[in-house]
Amino acid sequence: MSGYDYVIVGGGSAGCVLAARLSEDPAASVCLLEAGGANKELLVRMPAGVGNLIKSKNKHNWGFWTEPEPHMDGRRLWWPRGKGLGGSSSINGMIYTRGHPQDYDEWRQMGLDGWAWEDVLPYFRRLEGHHRGECDGLHGAAGPLSISAGESDSPFHDALIEAGRQAGYPVTPDFNGASQEGFGRYDLTISDGRRWSTAAAYLRPVLARRNLTVITDARTTRVVVEHGRTVAVEYRRGTALERVEVAGEAILSAGAVQSPHLLQLSGIGDPDRLRAAGINTVHALPGVGENLQDHLDVIMNWSTRGLVTAFSATRGLGQLKTGLNYLLRGQGLGRQQFLESGAFVRSREGLSRPDVQIHGVLAVMRDHGKQRVGQDGFSLHLCQLRPESRGRIMAASADPFADPLIYANYLAAPEDRRVMRECVKIGRDVAAQAALDPYRADELFPGASVRTDEEIDAWVRAAAETIYHPVGTCRMGAEGDQRAVVDGALRVRGIQGLRVADASVMPTLVGSNTNAPTIMIAEKTADLIRGVKATPALAA
């Protein structure tokens, strides 16, 4: 049979890793299909460009919207997702957090052998080129993903950490170290002032390999399955419909929105839902698109005094100066993303691990940066880490170019509403501490008029947004789990030669930003495919 040994659909956070790792074997032929472009532009390379990448639909951002959310005043919420090589690692906030060890131990308790913390830690270590070095066996120093400390000299970040201590929370030197809980500084996927996406870290260094073919601007339309086996992947490039043959395996790494969508477009999913979308069923798999989870986030804003924030630094000609200084010298504020401090805390006693994450931003952020606020200030992002609500992704029609329907179903569970209410109270408590007195002025958003639980709940419904961490829509499950889409080796149930490897396979949402766990999943998948098990020697 002619064709590639491995056809990878989606050159994002996972796909770039898989293309690099699988093509390490010179005898294996690898083809990577990516719907977007190369993502080499200054706006992508420069960390300070993140705000412009996220806030609008553009060549780097698919720019999805949810369907009207029934528990959030019927609002449609903006869902940025990365497009082009590097995927969402090319437009994200560059925060590197791995999640709590219990997150992965729970996966093992669900029957997923090989996915406990002790199993995944070697892969985190293998991917890391960490500024701390190996650090008690918890980090890796020689991996392709450069992980650095922030460069900001603003007093805001230290003041926020001290305010957290004054509010009664611990301080941690490393969110990915011995203890996640507390206030501290984030690790960043930035290398010498440049965004270090998986395209930069994994793919671009190996593009010259003869056994690796990368096709950009190639919009996959379906996976072709015949007699229960994957035989080809079809894609459109320009006006031409083209086809790449699969001799071994096809691997969907298109993300939590588009991997289930592509399965559905290929006739793999719930027969009733496929029929409603005008798609013929090729293989009945009812869990496809279900189990959607995401971190819902509120952004609280305060005006400030005595601080140089993103507004004053870039107002007028400041933005042009920042861009030119970065372009010509690689220096200045362009090297920063204004988000270097934060916390993992608990919303109530009795929890085994933090359930709230805080990101401190040296800017007034509102609605993903879509609303420009003309003053200096700082913001606290506060999100719930382990929501109980579940949504779904569904093909709107058989048209592969129609955006899928996104039903996030935020705040359906009472516990989710409680935690989001506590997020607001935690944010206010921290911001009120003496350490921030020299810098804090007035609360801008939600403002002093929002005080009672009922008022806070109403504001959360009206103002909360995604913090860009959807997972779970092709979830893995143990043998006998009828709602699982893939098994523990990430093979699609009932289809030969087809896997999914990206954030969509997570059975539950990890308590952190999701980019690092997605890269880990891809590293582990490469070994699952090659029949290799990570060892301490491999991990270093």
Fill in the DSSP letter of residue 293. B
Handedness of CA 89, 95, 98, 103 (dihedral sign): negative
* d(C-alpha 146, C-alpha 140), whole Å: 10
117-127 helix and 515-530 helix, angle to the nearest 10 degrees: 100
* d(C-alpha 404, C-alpha 402), whole Å: 6
Kindly give, in sequence order, each residue whose CB lies less than 8 Å from that of residue 488, ignoring residues fewer than 6 positions away.
Answer: 111, 112, 113, 114, 115, 476, 478
Both structure tokens of 298:
């509120």
Both structure tokens of 531:
């029949």
* d(C-alpha 531, C-alpha 529), whole Å: 6
**Torsions phi, psi of 251, nearest 5?**
-130, 115
Residue type, 458: A
469 is catalytic: yes
- List the Cα angle 448/453/456 in 5-degree steps: 50
Kindly give, in sequence order, each residue whose CB lies less than 8 Å from that of residue 91, ignoring residues fewer than 6 positions away.
Answer: 44, 50, 53, 54, 60, 61, 80, 82
DSSP string, 423-451: HHHHHHHHHTSGGGTTTEEEEEES-TT--
Cβ atoms < 10 Å from Cβ of 308:
15
Nearest one of 471, 391, 468 to 63, comparing CA atoms: 468
Catalytic residue numbers read 469
